[in-house]
Amino acid sequence: MNEFHLDRRQVRRNFGRAASTYEQHDVLQREVQTQLLERLDFYKAQQPARVLDVGAGTGRGSALLKQRYPKAEVIAMDLALPMLRAAKSHSSWRRPFSRVCAEAGHLPLADQSVDVLHSNLCFQWIDDLPTLFGECMRVLKPGGLLAFTSFGPDTLRELRAAWAEADQRPHVSRFLDMHDVGDAMLAAGLRDPVLDVFRYTLTYSEPRKLLQELQGLGATNADRSRERGFTGKTAYRRMLQAYETMRVDGRIPATWEVISAHAWGPPPGQPQRTPDGGEIARFSVDKLRGSRR
């Protein structure tokens, strides 16, 4: 399923460097966040006790979650410590949230301890989907809600095509499509997944403005197969020239494909597929019936 691998250290480094500039460039992220919050309307249970924001970044989403669920324990989690330091500005004494530095593939939480797991435009930076969704299922309570967004493979297709005119080296991160994501959710045992795809087109006065925005967001190439070192000036100029030919109404377009999804924590005892092809079911010892000696 996964034909590429991400350099997790590079992902952490990119976002750590962008902590001070992220909110100057996060217009799309805010728009997608607004739509993601609407998915939380599906959660009809009583007020959640614990809400986890995975890939919280500078904490805007965590603050909105605390506003929505004022009585809940809201945890902002991110792998980049500088992002969590920046998130402190959004945590007030009236509506505080916790900040935890950890990876999505290794959630430092107990089994079945989360009512709502929220993640806005983070999961595309994790290439091990079985582990990712296995962790989501592990920490979700039965009937708990997972709601997330992620970038799809058409994201930055114009920039990718422009670089292809310059050389054959990978310069733009690649992302998995909706079918791969949905299959991984089902394989992990998440219940009743629903996925949608939305496309946004942002425009810029010149290609350099887009590149500056990606740098400011920390959303730069982190593929392990990326070219190390500086890109040659000749290839860079060729890329710019190729991108210039794509102008529409005098503007440079950039497509962003967004996968939006939600699913539910399964009831106790539902089997979960293991990496070796088997299945395992978890349930409380209290549910066992029989004689004791």
Among residues 177, 97, 107, 116, the alpha carbon closest in space to that of 135 is found at 107
Residue 185 is assigned to a structural domain of this protein: yes
Residue 162 is assigned to a structural domain of this protein: no
Residues 193-207: tens digit of each pLDDT = 999 999 999 999 999
Establish how many alpha carbons lie within 13 A of residue 25's alpha carbon, considering only the half-sphere containing its beta carbon: 19
C-beta contacts of 70-76 below 8 A and 24+ residues apart: 70/95, 71/47, 72/47, 72/48, 72/115, 72/116, 73/49, 73/98, 74/98, 75/50, 75/51, 75/99, 75/100, 76/100
Domain limits at 66?
A: 8-152+174-200+258-287
Q: Does 288 have pLDDT greater than 60?
A: no
Average of pLDDT values for 52-72? Answer: 97
Residue 166 is assigned to a structural domain of this protein: no
Residue 76 is assigned to a structural domain of this protein: yes
Residues 219-258: tens digit of each pLDDT = 987 776 655 555 668 889 999 999 999 999 999 999 999 9
Residue 268 is assigned to a structural domain of this protein: yes
Q: Does 293 have pLDDT greater than 60?
A: no
DSSP lists the bridge partners of residue 75 as 52, 98
Residue 168 pLDDT? 74
Average of pLDDT values for 88-104? Answer: 95
Out of 16-25, 259-268, 271-280, least confident range: 271-280
Tally of domains within the chain: 1
Residue 21 is assigned to a structural domain of this protein: yes
Q: What is the CATH number of the domain that holds 27?
A: 3.40.50.150
What token pair was written down for 140? 């979700």
Residues 105-118: tens digit of each pLDDT = 999 999 999 999 99
Residue 143 is assigned to a structural domain of this protein: yes
Residue 141 is assigned to a structural domain of this protein: yes
Residue 1 pLDDT? 46
